[in-house]
Chains A and B, each alone.
Chain A
Amino acid sequence: MTTTAIRIAGLTKSFGDHSVLRGVDLDVSRGSIHALLGSNGAGKTTCVRILSTLLAGDGGTATIVGHDVATQPAKVRESISLTGQFAAVDEVLTGRENLVLIARLRLLPDPGAVADGLLARFSLTDAGGRRVATYSGGMRRRLDIAMSLVGHPPVVFLDEPTTGLDPQARLEVWQAVRELARGGTTVLLTTQYLEEAEQLADRIAILHDGVIIAEGTLADLKAMLPPAQVEYVEKQPTLEQIFLSITGAKES
Chain B
Amino acid sequence: MSRFVHHTTALTGRSLRHILRSPDTIITTALTPIAMMLLFVYVFGAAIDTGESGNYVNYLLPGILLMTVASGIAYTAYRLFMDVSGGIFERLMSMPIARSAVLWGHVLTSVVANLIALALVVLVAVAMGFRSGAGVLAWLGVVGILTLFTLALTWLAVIPGLAAKSADAVSGLSFPLIFLPFISSAFMPTDGMPGPVEWFAEHQPVTPIVNSIRSLYAEQPAGEDLWLALAWCVGLLILAYAMAMRVYHRKIA
Contact = CB atoms under 8 A, between A and B. Distances in A.
Interface of A: 49, 52-56, 73-74, 77-78, 80-90, 92-93, 97, 101-102, 104-107, 131, 147
Interface residues of B, number: 23
Contact of B94 (A54, A89, A104, A107): A54
A53 B86 CA distance: 18
A85 B244 CA distance: 26
Contacts of A102: 95
B86 A86 contact: yes
Nearest to B251: A54
B90 A105 contact: no
Contacts of B86: 86, 88
Given A74-B96, A80-B94, A101-B10, A87 B253 contact: no
A150 to B, nearest CB: 9
B231 interface: no
Contact of A55 (B18, B88, B253): B253
Given A92-B17, A92-B18, A54 B87 contact: no
A92 B14 CA distance: 9
Given A87-B87, A88-B87, A105 B94 contact: no
Contacts of B94: 52-54, 77, 80-82
A92 B90 contact: no
A77 B91 contact: no
Contacts of A83: 91
B92 interface: yes
CB-based closest 5 A-B pairs = A88-B87, A56-B253, A88-B91, A82-B94, A52-B94
Contact of A84 (B21, B87, B95, B96): B87
11 contacts: A53-B93, A54-B93, A56-B253, A73-B253, A77-B96, A80-B94, A81-B94, A84-B87, A88-B88, A92-B22, A105-B97
A170 to B, nearest CB: 19
Contacts of A56: 253
B137 interface: no
Given A105-B10, A106-B96, A88 B17 contact: no
Contacts of B10: 101, 104-105
Nearest to A51: B94
Nearest to A78: B96
Contacts of A78: 96
A90 B97 contact: no
Nearest to B92: A105
A107 B6 contact: yes
A4 B3 CA distance: 31
A90 B90 contact: no
B47 interface: no
Nearest to B6: A107
Interface in B14-71: 14, 17-18, 21-22
A82 B253 contact: no
Which interface residue of A56, A82, A85, A131 has the most chain B CB atoms within 10 A? A82
Contact of A106 (B87, B88, B95): B95
Contacts of A86: 86-87
Which interface residue of A87, A90, A93, A106 has the most chain B CB atoms within 10 A? A90
B140 to A, nearest CB: 33
Contacts of A89: 88
Nearest to B7: A105
Given A49-B90, A54-B93, 18 more contacts: A53-B94, A54-B90, A73-B253, A81-B94, A82-B90, A84-B87, A86-B87, A88-B86, A88-B90, A89-B88, A92-B21, A101-B11, A105-B10, A105-B95, A105-B97, A106-B95, A107-B3, A131-B21
Nearest to A56: B253
B252 interface: yes
A107 B4 CA distance: 12
B104 to A, nearest CB: 13
Contacts of A90: 14, 88
A85 B86 CA distance: 9
A66 to B, nearest CB: 16
Contacts of A106: 95-97
Contacts of A81: 94-95
B18 A82 contact: no
Contacts of A107: 3, 6
Contacts of A92: 17-18, 21-22
Contacts of B97: 105-106
B7 to A, nearest CB: 6
A97 B17 contact: yes
Contacts of A55: 253
Interface string B73-109: 0000000000000111011111111000000000000
